[in-house]
Amino acid sequence: MLDLVKKHPLASLLSLVLHLVLIGFFIFSTSFNEPESLIAPPVPIVKATVIDDSKIKAEAEKLKNHEREKQQQEKKRLDDLKNKRLAEEKKLADLKKKQALEQQKLEQQKAEQAASAAKIKKQQAIDEKKKTDAAKQQLIAKEKAAKEKAIKERAAEEKLAKEKAAKEKAVKEKLAKEKAAKEKLVKEKAAKEQAARERALSELAEQEEQEMRAQEAVASYSGLIRQKVERNWLQPPGDIAGLSCTVRVRLIPGGDVIDVQVIKSSGNTYFDRSVELATRKASPLPLPNDPAMFNYFRTLDFYFRPGG
């Protein structure tokens, strides 16, 4: 043990200190726990009830009386029910008697009605005979008139038919005409639509091609612009890795830089200045000849990030 201490004085010392600290810790923590262990555990409380003998007797008596009353009430109830049934049976018998009487009265009425009907039928037959004789005379006259009327009507009818046919023909022709026109219209419309569709498609293709061309031009001129700015960027000496700066550059047609604004500083004045100077010195920036393309290059954001 002593050798060990001698061999590793530092380790031994450390271990000693650690032990002391541990022991100290135990003592310390115990002295803190003691007051807590003195608190007595809570005692459960029992509630006692005293029972009185006289009360029990009174309770029994009360129960007995109650039973008796109940029996009396039941008997009365049964009697009431019997009386009620008797009254109901009487009422039913009365009702049957009344129904029989009403049936008798109804049959009497039916007989009276049949006698009256036979009398009316006899009078009707006499009236009918008188009527047919007058009608026969009337019919002869009527037929004659009808014959004349028929001739007249046929002529009129023929005329009408003629007119109607002419009319129908006209309508038919008109309809045919309309139909043809309509068909023509539909056809024309379809053709127009087809043409429009085709035109739209070709326009689309053209637009697409234009966009492609624009995109290509933007890409290639972005490259040219980048190269020119990079040629003009004198990187400040020293450690600039990790610095970055974004400037917004406004151009006029022809590519001249008219404004340079730092929109995100690197935090390093000299770096920012080198960036600003690079974009100004690169002016004019190379732009496509097509003036329509200028919109793409009106405002440029340069993100300077040395070393990529």
Partner 1 sequence: MKTTIKLVLMCMLMYASAAWSEALKIEITQGVSSAQPIAIVPFSSTQVVTGVAVDVAQTISDDLMRSGRFKSLSRFDMLDKPFTAAQVNFRNWQALGQDNLVIGEITEQANGMLEVQFQLFDVYKGEQLMGFSLPANKTGLRGAAHRISDLIYEKLTGQKGAFSTRMAYVTSTKNLNGKHEYKIQVADADGYGAKTIVTSSEPLMSPAWSPRGDKISYVSFEAGRSSIYTQTLRTGAREKLQSFKGINGAPAWSPDGSQMALTLSKDGSADIYVYNVISRSFRRLTYSYAIDTEPNWSPDGRAIIFTSDRGGKPQIYRIAASGGQATRVTYEGDYNARASYSPDGKNIVMVHRVNGQYRVATLELKTGFVSILSDGQLDESPSYAPNGSMILYSTNDSFKSILAAVSSDGKVRQKLRLQGGEVREPAWSPFK
CA angle 67, 71, 75 (to 5 degrees): 170
Of 100 and 234, CB closest to partner 1: 234
Least distance in angstroms from the C-beta of 195 to partner 1:
16
Of 168 and 198, CB closest to partner 1: 198
- Residue 12 contacts residue 4 (beta carbons within 8 Å): yes
Token output for 264: 């995100």
Cα distance between residue 103 and residue 108, in whole Å = 9
| Per-residue H/E/C for 164-179 | HHHHHHHHHHHHHHHH
Least distance in angstroms from the C-beta of 36 to partner 1:
54
Least distance in angstroms from the C-beta of 283 to partner 1:
8
Least distance in angstroms from the C-beta of 201 to partner 1:
7
First to last CA, the chain: 64
Least distance in angstroms from the C-beta of 178 to partner 1:
36
**CA-based torsion, 110, 116, 120, 122: positive or negative:** positive
Token output for 248: 């917004």
Q: What type of residue is 177?
A: K
Of 111 and 241, CB closest to partner 1: 241
Of 24 and 238, CB closest to partner 1: 238
- Residue 285 contacts residue 235 (beta carbons within 8 Å): no
The values of phi and psi at residue 238, to 5°, are 95, -170
**Which residues contribute to the site for partner 1 (CB under 8 A)?**
201, 204-205, 207-208, 211-212, 214-215, 218, 222, 225-226, 229-231, 233-238, 248, 268-270, 273-278, 280-281, 295-308
Query: Closest by alpha carbon to 285, among 241, 221, 240, 236?
Result: 221
Of 42 and 308, CB closest to partner 1: 308
Least distance in angstroms from the C-beta of 207 to partner 1:
6
Of 25 and 303, CB closest to partner 1: 303
